[in-house]
Amino acid sequence: MTDVLRRGRASLAFGFFAQGVAFALLVTRIPAIQDRYGISDALLPVFLAAVPVLAGAGSVATEQLVKRVRPSRLLRWSQPVVLLALLATGAAGRGQLAAVAVALGVFGLAVGALDASMNMLGVSLQRAYGRSIMLGFHAAYSLGGIVGASLAWAGAHWQLALWVSYLPVVAVLLPATLVGSRGYVDGDPAPVAEGSGGGGVVFRLLLPLCLVMTFAYIGDSTVSNWSAKYLKDVLGGSEQLATVPYNVYMVTTLAGRALGDFGVRRFGPVAVVRLGALLAAGGFAVVATAPGPWVGMLGFTLLGLGLCVLVPQTFAAAGRLFPGASDAAVARLNIFNYVGFLVGSPLVGAVGDAWSYRGAMLLPMVLVLVTLVYARSFATQPDRYGGGHERPRTADVGRGSNGL
């Protein structure tokens, strides 16, 4: 394995980590942002929805941009924009709605480009390695999320102003990501195999993966937005205990992703995706039927272990399905990340209000189970990464980003 590949892998993993920190710092301080700028409860959903909508637009734009600009260059410059937009979100004057709206808009657009280009590089690096490494990148993102959430807790605990909480993080991560970006590696498109969809993306073939991505993020947003309320209001947990499920979910997500690549190499992606879907569905079933908060906590643990493998493997499968157009496939697939995020929380809330929140937890359970129908879309053909069929670990990795 060449030093270029190793350096590219480490640099990209740090990029995923930095993005996890930034995103967690934003979403976990939404109440503080609302208070600082006087955003009403009626207006808050508009602000929250605008970020993923603009992120989807950023992902669409990235598909076109990578026809002219290498993904590594887009990633190199979108990451600082995300960090600076995060800082601007906390630094605008009190009550300045227009300023924070612009900051969140820039954050959303840049995040769409960042997520898409980051996963493009991950897919091309996995192809160059000839074995599963994609889950490791997303494990770095999960670790960043845990760090970001912990920093946000510290800021809230010490009642720091938002800009005071954000400034040290941005001051460290911004130069670090710029230095790290010098190691990014762009892979060349793989040879187009017969039956792989040709040199372009056939949406009909990509659709099963788009649905899996949507269902996975509906499940993830359910945990992110409803776990605390569910544990407290439905299962009778204390307010302090209600903060634990999301942390448990993030920790088990990190653990599952850290080990997941070994499972893919040993058993293949189809088996890993099926197991993940079953664990996630089982987790939702436990949460829906839990007699008390501690059993509910077990359900959220299973959810983290199950859902964590679906998104990374969906990106990897898109790269294999369209080896000659993996960047375009990843960009289009990434849009459904935001679709699931947008749909999930309101859908669960509507069902919970109309019926019951226990019943609402069965909805993402059913959607995750539908993933089993599409599991064959994750088959490693023509490439084989698991089950004793790894390709030799020598590959043309294209040009490093320094050669752009």
pLDDT of residue 9: 95
pLDDT of residue 215: 97
The upper half-sphere exposure of residue 172, i.e. CA atoms within 13 Å in the direction of its Cβ, equals: 9
Same domain for 27 and 165, yes or no, is yes
- Whether residue 121 lies inside any domain: the answer is yes
Same domain for 171 and 202, yes or no, is no
Same domain for 121 and 228, yes or no, is no
pLDDT of residue 42: 82
- Whether residue 398 lies inside any domain: the answer is no
Same domain for 214 and 354, yes or no, is yes
Cα angle 14, 115, 77 (rounded to 5 degrees) comes to: 70
Query: Where is the domain boundary, 184, 219, 238?
Result: 184
Query: Where is the domain boundary, 137, 154, 184?
Result: 184
Give the domain extent around 136.
Answer: 1-184
Distance CA 212, CA 311 (A): 8
Partners of 400 in beta bridges:
185
- Whether residue 403 lies inside any domain: the answer is no
Give the length of the chain.
404
Same domain for 59 and 94, yes or no, is yes
Query: 175 preceded by cis ω (within 30°)?
Result: no
Same domain for 180 and 269, yes or no, is no
Query: Where is the domain boundary, 166, 184, 202?
Result: 184
- Whether residue 396 lies inside any domain: the answer is no
Residue 312 is part of a domain; what is its CATH number? Answer: 1.20.1250.20
- Whether residue 402 lies inside any domain: the answer is no
Same domain for 199 and 157, yes or no, is no
- Whether residue 356 lies inside any domain: the answer is yes
Same domain for 253 and 112, yes or no, is no
Ordered per-residue pLDDT tens for the chain, 404 residues: 588 999 999 999 999 999 999 998 998 888 888 888 998 878 888 888 899 999 999 999 999 999 999 999 999 999 999 999 999 999 988 888 999 999 999 999 999 999 999 999 999 999 999 999 999 999 999 999 899 888 888 888 898 999 999 999 999 999 999 999 999 998 766 555 544 444 578 899 999 999 999 999 999 999 988 888 898 889 998 877 887 888 889 899 999 999 999 999 999 999 999 999 999 999 999 999 999 999 999 999 999 999 999 999 999 999 999 998 999 999 999 999 999 999 988 999 889 989 999 999 999 999 999 999 999 999 976 444 444 444 444 344 444 443 33
The total number of structural domains in the chain stands at 2
Same domain for 172 and 294, yes or no, is no
pLDDT of residue 388: 40
Closest CA to 320 of 186, 122, 136: 122
Partners of 185 in beta bridges:
400
Same domain for 237 and 338, yes or no, is yes
- The pTM (predicted TM-score) of the whole model is 0.88
- Whether residue 393 lies inside any domain: the answer is no
Same domain for 162 and 200, yes or no, is no
- Whether residue 366 lies inside any domain: the answer is yes
- Residue 193 falls in which region: left (phi positive, over 0), alpha (psi -120 to 50) or beta: beta
pLDDT of residue 192: 53
- Copy the structure tokens of residue 287: 């949460």
Same domain for 371 and 319, yes or no, is yes
